[in-house]
Amino acid sequence: MFGLYAVFFDRLLTGYSLFVHIILASVGMALPIIILLAEYLGIRFNDKQYESIAKRLSIAFIILFAVGTASGTLIAFELLLVWPKFMALVSQVAILPVYVEVFAFFMETIFLAMYIYSWDKFKSKMTHLLLGIPVALGAALSALFITMLNAFMNTPNGFNIATYLKNGTITNVMPYAVFSTPSTSLEASHVISTAYFAGAFIVIAYAAIMLLKASDQNKKAYYVKILKLALIVGIIATLLSLVTGLQSISSLVHLQPEKYAAIEGNINPQSYAPERLGGIPINGTLRYYIPIPDIQSILATGSPSGTVPGLSSYPKSTWPPLIIHLMFDMLLGASALVTLILALFVLLWLLKRKPLESKFMLSLFILAGVLAVFALEDGWVMEELGRQPWIIYNVMLVSQAANTTPTISPIAVFILAFYVVAIPATVFVIRKVLAKRPVEPEQVSV
């Protein structure tokens, strides 16, 4: 009985830690790009305001980085300590991306230390800018390599799975196979683009809030510049996220059919399958949904007569929870709203209606920031719940991997409580830091 509670706490602890870390990591990926763009424009056009933006945002970035790396360290420990049997298998088969990720992390850390503490040391400002590129690259590579491990969890390869399931022996290990599992390229591209998407929209929301508060033209010009830079990253990332997201869902038909079936609310396999919007899961079936005829079959197979998987083809013990269907709908809804807000902005901009001066548009950007973070977290939870009850799909159950030591639970509660305090404290500090460094009049563009 206690084992069940322990598994619950293990899940809760890891899930919550990742929930927090994902936000920090997303901002940590998008922010360096925005900082580098600002620094480049500052040098290119000798614009002191862009230079000031780069400096102020880099301070916010290093604070987020410090907390983000700490939470990343905690997760590294958690993987080892909370899921020891999982890590024991991963370490013998699929650890190389995690190992390479350490060097990507080193790249980010070491070059960040050089970048932050050498603003005025170089005769050529462009040399300083170059130091920032490995920071942005290291962040992206870290995301790439860590996602490779998650891809392995979804589509394991690189060892003889049949033998492992038969007698627990690990044989025929192909160490580099983990870099290219069937889901790696799609999952990595989707994770990276959505991280930039959410990170950029957090900055967009911040700039929009500050613009609404700004009282003088100097400050307004300053935050408009931040908003424009973040919008460049945000628009590109939104388009990439949509494309890779659609591809990812379609790929599940073959790679993880149970997950696909639960996401779409398919109890039975069927052709001419409708896209189901909404609905309520009752006793293992989905009811009261709105069907859009044939669309699911067309999207998944390219043909209305194409057959899509259903949960009934698999043992009920391996069904993911049907709640992920609703999570998928919410993900689609949030993403569609953000896309519509961006489309409205682009339209107003093309019509030369000065959308960045509109309080309504700025309010929509704040809403988009909230929706983007929601979409990121919702999508991740859906993805992880969709693999349940497996920690490694068709290889190892979550319950088999967990550390069921009784002492884990109080520590888990303590860590959860700690995060509740730590994250608001970080936000408070960043606000205070930025408030301590007000936008000075001399920072007006020249």
Partner 1 sequence: MNELYLINYLIFSIFLTMFLVEVGIAIISLFGYEKYKDRIKRLINPIWEVTGTFAIFYVVNFEVTYPTMLSIVGTAYAVPLLVAAIFIILRNMFIIFSEYIGTDKSEHRFRLIYSVSTLIAAILAIATLASGISGIGISPSTSTLTPSFLFNPFTILILASLVLFALSLAESILKPEGFQKIGIVSEILGFAIAYVAVAMYLPGFKIANQTILIAVSTVLLAIAVIIQAAKYKHAGAFNMILVFLLINLFGVAAYPYIFGTTNITSYIATSALATPEILITLIGGAFVAISLVALIYINYIKKNI
**Nearest one of 165, 136, 153 to 97, comparing CA atoms:** 153
Phi, psi of 276 (to 5 degrees): -100, 120
Residue with tokens 């989905």: 286
Q: Is 2 in the site for partner 1 (CB under 8 A)?
A: no
- In angstroms, the first-to-last Cα distance of the chain is 69
DSSP 279: -
Minimum CB distance to partner 1 smaller for 32 or for 309: 32
- With CB under 8 A as the contact rule, the residue among 40, 43, 55, 109 that binds partner 1 is 109
> At its nearest, how many Å lie between partner 1 and the CB of residue 362?
28
As measured in angstroms, the least distance from the Cβ of 326 to partner 1 is 33
**Does residue number 424 form part of the binding site for partner 1 (CB under 8 A)?**
no
For 282, list phi and psi in degrees, rounded to 5: -130, 125
**Whole-number Å distance between alpha carbons of 371 and 334:** 5
Residue span binding partner 1 (CB under 8 A) among the ranges 192-200, 274-282, 324-332, 423-431: 423-431
Residues 51-90 that bind partner 1 (CB under 8 A): 59, 62-63, 65-67, 69-74, 76-78, 80-85, 87-88, 90
Sequence-distant (≥ 6) Cβ neighbours of residue 223 within 8 angstroms:
207, 210, 211, 214
Sites for partner 1 among residues 156-175 (CB under 8 A): 170, 173-175
DSSP conformation class of 92: H
- Candidate residues 112, 195, 200, 229; the one interacting with partner 1 per rule CB under 8 A: 112
In the complex with partner 1, the residue whose CB is nearer, 102 or 343, is 102
Extract the tokens encoding 279.
Answer: 């609905």
Q: From the CB of 222, what's the least distance to partner 1, in Å?
A: 20
Q: Does 98 bind partner 1 (CB under 8 A)?
A: yes
Report in angstroms how near the CB of residue 66 gets to partner 1 at its nearest: 4
The two most distant CA atoms of the chain are separated, in Å, by 72
The answer to whether the CB of 111 falls within 8 A of the CB of 129 is no
Would you call the peptide bond into 281 cis, given omega within 30 degrees of 0 as the criterion? no
Smaller CB separation from partner 1, 176 or 288: 176
Tell me which residues in 380-409 interact with partner 1 (CB under 8 A). Answer: 403, 405, 407-408
Query: Rule CB under 8 A: which of 233-292 touch partner 1?
Result: none
Nearer to partner 1, 164 or 201 (CB): 164
Interacting residue with partner 1 among 415, 416, 444, 445 (CB under 8 A): 415
> Which element (helix H / strand E) includes 428?
helix 408-436
Nearer to partner 1, 43 or 96 (CB): 96
Rounded Cα distance between 284 and 279, Å, is: 12
Subset of residues 189 to 228 that bind partner 1, contact rule: CB under 8 A: none
Site for partner 1 in 127-156 (CB under 8 A): 127
Q: Are 102 and 73 in contact (CB under 8 A)?
A: no
Query: CA dist 164 to 89, 161, 170, 256, 334, Å?
Result: 10, 5, 6, 20, 41
Tokens matching residue 340: 């519509």
CB of 100 to partner 1, least distance (A): 6
Task: Tell which positions 14-43 bind partner 1, by CB under 8 A.
Answer: none
Q: What length does the chain have?
A: 446
User: For partner 1, what does the binding mask look like between residues 295 and 334, x meaning CB under 8 A?
Assistant: ----------------------------------------
Q: Could you tell me how many residues of this chain bind partner 1 (CB under 8 A)?
A: 71
